[in-house]
Amino acid sequence: MKLSKPVAAAAAFLPTCALAQEATPASESSVFLFNSLFLLLAGGAGFFLVAGLAMVEAGLVRARNAGAVAVKVIAAAALASLMFWIVGGGLFYDVEKGGLLGSFALWSAKDVDPVGAGRASAAGFFLQSALVAVAAAIISGALAERVRLVAFLLFTAFYAGLVHPIAASWDWGGGYLEADWKFLDRAGATIIHASAGAAALAGAIIIGPRRGRFPAKRASAPLASNVPLSVVGALIVWLSGLGLVAGSAQPFGAIGDAIGAAGVVVSANLAVSGGVLAAIVMSSMIYKRVDPSLVVNGAIGGLVAISADPISPALWQAALIGAFGGVIVTAGGPLLERLRIDDARGAAPAHLFCGVWGAAVVPWTNADASILGQLVGAGMIAGFSFAMSALLWIAIKYSIGARVSAEDELAGVDQAILGVSAYPEFAEP
Amino acid sequence: MKLSKPVAAAAAFLPTCALAQEATPASESSVFLFNSLFLLLAGGAGFFLVAGLAMVEAGLVRARNAGAVAVKVIAAAALASLMFWIVGGGLFYDVEKGGLLGSFALWSAKDVDPVGAGRASAAGFFLQSALVAVAAAIISGALAERVRLVAFLLFTAFYAGLVHPIAASWDWGGGYLEADWKFLDRAGATIIHASAGAAALAGAIIIGPRRGRFPAKRASAPLASNVPLSVVGALIVWLSGLGLVAGSAQPFGAIGDAIGAAGVVVSANLAVSGGVLAAIVMSSMIYKRVDPSLVVNGAIGGLVAISADPISPALWQAALIGAFGGVIVTAGGPLLERLRIDDARGAAPAHLFCGVWGAAVVPWTNADASILGQLVGAGMIAGFSFAMSALLWIAIKYSIGARVSAEDELAGVDQAILGVSAYPEFAEP
Amino acid sequence: MKLSKPVAAAAAFLPTCALAQEATPASESSVFLFNSLFLLLAGGAGFFLVAGLAMVEAGLVRARNAGAVAVKVIAAAALASLMFWIVGGGLFYDVEKGGLLGSFALWSAKDVDPVGAGRASAAGFFLQSALVAVAAAIISGALAERVRLVAFLLFTAFYAGLVHPIAASWDWGGGYLEADWKFLDRAGATIIHASAGAAALAGAIIIGPRRGRFPAKRASAPLASNVPLSVVGALIVWLSGLGLVAGSAQPFGAIGDAIGAAGVVVSANLAVSGGVLAAIVMSSMIYKRVDPSLVVNGAIGGLVAISADPISPALWQAALIGAFGGVIVTAGGPLLERLRIDDARGAAPAHLFCGVWGAAVVPWTNADASILGQLVGAGMIAGFSFAMSALLWIAIKYSIGARVSAEDELAGVDQAILGVSAYPEFAEP
């Protein structure tokens, strides 16, 4: 997302723009209003995506942990919003061209040159805040059913305030990766998804698996407690994701922008569709059944894969890129199981693996990007996030403790954290 | 929906437009941006409506089938999106004036004359894709609790790729019904709802009722397993339906358009409200209780009824049209039961009957439409959909088989299809 | 919300507007389209907020009452929409400057001077309808688990048709409070929330507590039956609330408006975030656990508190105002318990107390408002709503009866009202 230059771009790759140029342009005020509204809508879509992830995650864990999962997501969204305002904004927005670190300063709206900027600064900030909240919700899923709430919130504060904005500034802030590597990630495949997926993976490794997850013989996947909730959540991630990707990838101030944004929405929709169907086919072939958690993650994986560059691919390329995301999430789960890493919601396959896939495939459809630049960028972002997160989780583990007690885990973290059950009136069989 | 001429119209019936004409018009670019944004928002609302239908349907079936219902909806939305792109778009968009069949061609964005078109072609396509996904979700509901997933997806592929776009092209594509009969269906009362409802009815008849649905004595309605989920789903169908209807019925590029669109939203809101309250009153009078499935379908029936022409009715007419939709859904269920047709979610009453009602009532408020033209149009669309769907379901029934085995049906299709239960930790009483 | 003058204002307090003035303004048509679209989106957000409240309320009651709660909300939204059209609109819009009572007349769209009005009249009406539906949903929550459906709907008809619009006209209609007291409530802290909260409180007192709620020794809080549903509902209230507050507080027709609206969204987001975290901290300190109902109401309380004036506060002030809302909801519950008032969802603390708090704190950040004026305004609105509601509930109680029978209450109102259970297949432990 190149928020720093929202009104330009988009034109070059659109064959229609020669014609579009001849149209009466929108007035400066209208451009400002369109771009601001589009960013506000995308930010709203981002918070809706957080709600969708809360549904996905609460539905995929066991009933005795479902309440704490939902509370963790809303708490993380709140904390991420606050921390990105207090610390993250300065780090993200104030990075110098080619730089690696912004400033430490409370973010505040600056609209000194509205016409030049082309959109309200707070609208862009709102979208960024939403993206940070999405990242926090992603991490939450992987660590479900054993992480302490206070440990998770402490981690979220650091991740949202420091880790995410620093890494994001390297590209979207105009820093090192953008300036030196022409790294391209328009809608967060790596900056949101691979980064959060790497943080989730680090946490899952250091906190360790849920008790009983890896018995002597073979892994026993815990059952989802509420399949309809998680599938409806996936539908919400899907539709809100379309808005989030469009608002991240495109300004909306000229005819070429609108053509581009509509194209992004259609491409992303086909990518998600491809991801869903690929996951269904893969699951049917391998397991002789349609595993709903794979369907859910197939939709998410398709969305993540197209997020790196939803503009350049032709529609059939978009569908294929998304479909391969669906393949990745199906293959990723068993891989993690073999490594005895317990990622409760499949966050690493859907967000880290698919995010890297999405970044790496950009040169297939976009000559401006290089394989090397994309791998360097994805590697730096995911690697930085993994390393910082691992350090944080180690520090938390050996200070306040990262996971609930064994008894609390067996009884369900809802009782330990909330003091009530998620579904107290529904008896277990 | 007259996407082919989005910027015109809307003016004639608005008394204020003489005044509005005097205002400085929006620039060509602004018109393009407004129309495109409005279509994108309506398309997003359409996918949200799919999520609402997934909630309605998952909540109204028994727990042992609720997971498969949700998975069926997300799979159908994905497949419908892909098939409408691969086959449907050409059939829909390329029909000649007065014609009956478009072309077979992969859809792709064409924005050769942006100013003339007035909106991004992909934005209109996205809305159409969403409408196809809505249709697929409607059909899904009627066949719940016994249809095979693969059979339903095969049907969906044909319906979304062929049946729907061909019928839709006759009116919205500018084909036969529009050219020769002045048939009017602005927001899909027949093109989406009656067509999908007829397809659902054909499927319900050919696949046959759920085991135990019609015992010797009298019909025993299976219980809804999750009433709050279905009612919240109805609220979501309601609010997303307002956006879908507005975006389908109105462009948004001039003052008269905005007045029209706002009027559509208010009219549709009152129609839904009328449908809800009529269903509550009817249910209270007949059954001495407020049946939640009737409330849910009353909201949907009100929305469907106003979809044929949400622009022409005065507000009291809109409320009455919607309220009669609520009456229809209450009366439709027992009618189907008498015919021993098992429509698991009441899709035929809410979508087919209310859609035909909505089309037939248009001449009451709109002198441009004729009773004959409306009945011919509704009949052709619903009849074509019913006949094609019946053929398809028969072909499926006698080839791969349309329904799960008797044992799987009794155990719940969740186990057969997903290999897991929707709510594995909630014991049955 | 000053819908009567949507295009002006917003400029004075924005330091950037000197610059913004120099930009080419949007054309009259574009201004009209932007403002209308913004109001339509805010109205849609309002109905989404109703769905969120339905989830919150259905999740926080016991399973045997959860279906009726959801049905009550959708029925109330329908009735509120109809009554605000039939009676409320005239009372709200036709009040004279400084007056106390509008006219009795069916509302209808009037767009005689589109350019002067700056937005479609139906768009503003739609937003107002959504706000009335929100108010009805708020009241519903407090009275859950014992109120009769017909009694609640009768009350809703009067509240939506008379009580709310009369009180709202005093400020937003340009009546007494606006003209004589410069009372400021931009987005409904008192006009929606304190008013509905006061009505809920009156109802809770007169209808009386749920059986067994206040045993001899100490209050026993009934358990929430579906924690994930209520928390996801709170996330939806949060995100839809951002749109509702922005659309209520700001027009969207000029650069200064967009800057203001984006600032409102960011401020409201931080206020909600503050409310969530304050409730978590308070709950952890007092109860040594994170009570999910407090987290839910903390989010709502933060939103309500910032609704009085989301424009004037600096971001740190917005966060503090919201955080104190989170403190209020935590303290409000025990206060009501001590008074033996049974507010099933905590509507009075979250909406009445936080609404008054929000109104009272406006002078801290906005020199145009006076403490006296704010207290007079909040007192008149909440007092009028409380008194009228108390009279109505007394009349209902002693005529048709306000609550279900003792047996029905013990068996759950779902059986009495709906004739079915919300979750018939989930056994109680």
Taking the Cβ of residue C118 and every Cβ of chain B, the question of whether any pair is shorter than 8 Å is answered with: no
Report pLDDT for C197: 97
| Candidates A36, A50, A82; nearest CB to C273 | A82
Q: Measured between CB atoms, which of A226, A229, A424 is closest to C225? A: A424
Say yes or no for a CB contact (<8 Å) between B420 and A223.
yes
Check pLDDT > 80 for residue C324: yes
What's the gap between Cα A142 and its chain centre?
13
How far apart (Å, rounded) are the C-alpha atoms in residues B191 and B170? 9
Provide the mean pLDDT of chain B. 91
Subunits touching B (CB < 8 Å, at least 3 pairs)?
A, C
| Rounded CA separation A197/A372 (Å) | 21
pLDDT tens readout for residues B341-370: 999 899 999 999 999 999 999 999 999 999
* CB pair distance less than 8 Å for B85 and A315: yes
Has residue B214 got a pLDDT over 90? no
Domain assignment present for A14:
no
> Is B23 inside any structural domain?
no
Q: Does residue B5 lie within any of the structural domains?
A: no
pLDDT confidence of residue A190: 96
Q: Quick one: closest CA in A to C240, which residue?
A: A44
Instruction: Return d(Cα B337, Cα B219) in angstroms, integer.
Output: 7
User: Domain holding C164: CATH number?
Assistant: 1.10.3430.10
Band (pLDDT 50/70/90 cuts) for residue C104 is confident
Question: Which pLDDT score, from 0 to 100, does residue A220 have?
Answer: 61
Contact between B54 and A232 using a beta-carbon 8 Å cutoff: yes
- Phi, psi of A13, deg, nearest 5: -90, 5
Considering its fold, how many domains does chain C have in total? Answer: 1
- Give the domain extent around B275: 29-106+118-210+224-418
CB contact A49 to C (< 8 Å)? no
List the one residue out of B160, B147, B184, B187 whose CA is nearest residue B268.
Answer: B187
> What's the confidence (pLDDT) of residue C70?
97
Residue C207 lies in a domain: yes
Beta-strand ranges (E) seen in C120-198 are none
Residues of A in contact with C250 (CB under 8 A): none
CB A347 within 8 A of CB A141: yes
Categorize the per-residue pLDDT at B50 as very low, low, confident or very high, splitting at 50, 70 and 90: very high
- Tokens for C403, please give them: 């609550």
Instruction: Name the one residue in this structure whose structure tokens are 């594995």.
Output: B424
Q: What pLDDT is recorded for position C304? A: 98
Whether residue C7 is contained in a domain is answered as: no
Angstroms from B316 CA to nearest CA on chain C: 9
For C155-206, the pLDDT digits (tens) are 999 999 999 999 999 988 888 888 888 999 999 999 999 999 999 999 999 9
Amino acid at B217: K
Q: How far apart are CA A56 and CA A350, in angstroms?
A: 13
A334 CB within 8 Å of a chain B CB: no
What CA–CA distance (Å, rounded) separates A290 from B406? 20
Using a CB–CB cutoff of 8 Å, tell me whether C422 touches chain B.
yes
Mean pLDDT of the region C364-380:
95
Q: What is the CA radius of gyration of chain C?
A: 21
Tell whether C39 is within 8 A of chain A (Cβ).
no
Residue C23 located in a structural domain: no
A259 contacts B115? CB cut-off 8 A = no
Q: Give the separation between CA C334 and CA A366, rounded to whole angstroms.
A: 61
Closest residue in C to A425 (Cα–Cα)? C428
Identify the three-state secondary structure at position B147: strand
- Tokens standing for residue A138: 């992603």
Residue partners of A367: CB distance under 8 A and separation at least 6: none
pLDDT(B183) > 50: yes
Residue from A223, A23, A4, A207 nearest A102 by CA: A4
Q: Do A259 and B122 touch (CB under 8 A)?
A: yes
Radius of gyration of chain B (CA): 21
Residues 6+ apart with CB under 8 A from B346: B141, B142, B293, B297, B329, B332, B333
Query: What pLDDT, on a 0 to 100 scale, did the predictor assign at position C416?
Result: 93
Between residues A19 and C415, which one has the greater pLDDT?
Answer: C415
Contacts of A136 in chain C (CB under 8 A): none
DSSP structure string for C270-286: HHHHHHHHHHHHHHHHH
Task: Tell me the pLDDT tens digit for each residue of B227-272.
Answer: 999 999 999 999 999 999 999 999 999 999 999 999 999 999 999 9
Q: Compute the distance between CA of residue C31 and CA of residue C18 in angstroms, rounded to an integer.
A: 19
CA-atom Rg of chain A in angstroms: 21
pLDDT tens profile C23-60: 888 899 999 999 999 999 999 999 999 999 999 999 99
Tell me how many residue pairs between chain A and chain B have CB atoms under 8 A apart: 238
Kindly tell me the burial class for residue B429, based on how many C-beta atoms sit within 10 Å of its own C-beta (0-12, 13-18, 19 or more). Answer: exposed
Nearest CA in chain A to C275: A78
Q: Calculate what percentage of chain B has a pLDDT beyond 70.
A: 93
Are residues B16 and C106, on separate chains, in Cβ contact within 8 Å? no
Confidence of residue B62 (pLDDT cuts 50, 70, 90): very high
| Number of cross-chain residue pairs from B and C with Cβ atoms under 8 Å apart | 237
Q: What is the pLDDT of residue C212?
A: 83
Q: How far is A3 from chain B (nearest CA, A)?
A: 19
Q: Band of the pLDDT at C85, cuts 50, 70, 90?
A: very high
Residue at token pair 């025990």:
C334
Neighbours of B408 (CB within 10 A): 16
Q: What is the pLDDT of residue C175?
A: 80
Q: Which residues of C touch B23 (CB under 8 A)?
A: 27-29, 32, 114-115
Question: Chain C partners of B316 at a C-beta cutoff of 8 Å?
Answer: 106
Sign of CA dihedral C223, C225, C228, C233: negative
Please give the pLDDT value at position C222. Answer: 66
pLDDT at position A177 is: 87
Closest by Cβ to C122, choosing from B266, B287, B319:
B266
Q: Which of B303, B245, B271 is nearest to C81 (CA)?
A: B271
pLDDT of residue A307: 97
> Contact, C213 vs C220, CB < 8 A?
yes
Contact C42, C248 (CB under 8 A): yes
To the nearest whole Å, the CA of A132 is away from the closest chain C CA by 13
The closest of C47, C10, C19, C14 to C251, measured between CA atoms, is C10
CA distance B242 to chain A (A): 17
A276 chain-B contacts, CB cut-off 8 A: 74-75, 77-78
User: Which pLDDT does position B103 carry in this prediction?
Assistant: 83
Residues for chain A: how many in total?
Answer: 429
Residues 6 or more apart whose CB falls under 8 angstroms from that of A151 comprise A396, A400, A401, A402, A403
Nearest to C51 among B224, B236, B280 (CB): B236
- Under DSSP, is residue B294 helix (H, G, I), strand (E, B) or coil? helix
CB contact under 8 A, B238 and C70: no
B71 dihedral zone (left: phi>0; alpha: psi -120 to 50; beta): alpha
**Residue B276 amino acid letter:** V
Contact assignment for A120 to C261 by CB distance below 8 Å: yes
How many CB atoms are located within 10 Å of the residue A216 CB?
A: 4
- A120 at the C interface (CB within 8 A)? yes
How confident is the model at residue A13, as a pLDDT?
A: 37
Each residue's pLDDT tens digit, B292-345: 999 999 999 999 999 999 999 999 999 999 999 999 999 998 999 899 999 989
Find the distance separating the first CA and the last CA of chain A, reported in whole Å.
49
Q: CA torsion sign, A101 to A104 to A107 to A108?
A: negative
C171 phi, psi to nearest 5 deg = -110, -65
pLDDT for B212 equals: 84
The identity of residue A227, as a single letter, is V
- Tokens 């109330």 locate to C76
β-bridge partners, A403: A147
Is residue A398 within 8 A of residue B397, CB to CB? The reply is: no
Q: Does B274 touch chain C (CB under 8 A)?
A: yes
Angle at A402 between CA A400 and CA A408, to 5 degrees: 105
Contacts with A290 from chain B: Cβ below 8 Å: 71, 75, 149, 417-419
Out of B253, B273, B290, the one facing C81 most closely (by C-beta) is B273
* Confidence at residue A15, expressed as pLDDT on a 0 to 100 scale: 41
What letter would DSSP give residue C307? T
Give a yes or no: residue B215 inside a domain.
no
- Which residue in chain C is spatially nearest to B18 when comparing CA positions? C112
Q: Decide if A161 contacts A105 (C-beta within 8 A).
A: no
Q: Is the model's pLDDT at C429 over the cut of 90?
A: no
> Would you call A226 an interface residue with chain C, using a CB distance cutoff of 8 Å?
yes
Residues C381, C362: Cα–Cα separation, whole Å: 16
Q: Taking CB atoms and an 8 Å limit, are C70 and B287 in contact across chains?
A: no
B239 and A CB contact within 8 Å: no
Provide the phi-psi class of A113: left if phi over 0, else alpha when psi is between -120 and 50, else beta: beta
How many helices and strands (H and E) does chain C possess? 20, 0
Range B11-29 average pLDDT: 61
In contact, C136 and C164? CB cutoff 8 Å:
no
**Residue B186 or residue A218, greater confidence:** B186
Query: Which residues of chain A fall below pLDDT 70?
Result: 1-21, 216-222
Among candidates B226, B246, B292 on the partner chain, residue whose Cβ is nearest the Cβ of C418: B292
Looking at residue B12, its pLDDT comes to 35
For residue C4, tell me if it sits in a domain. no
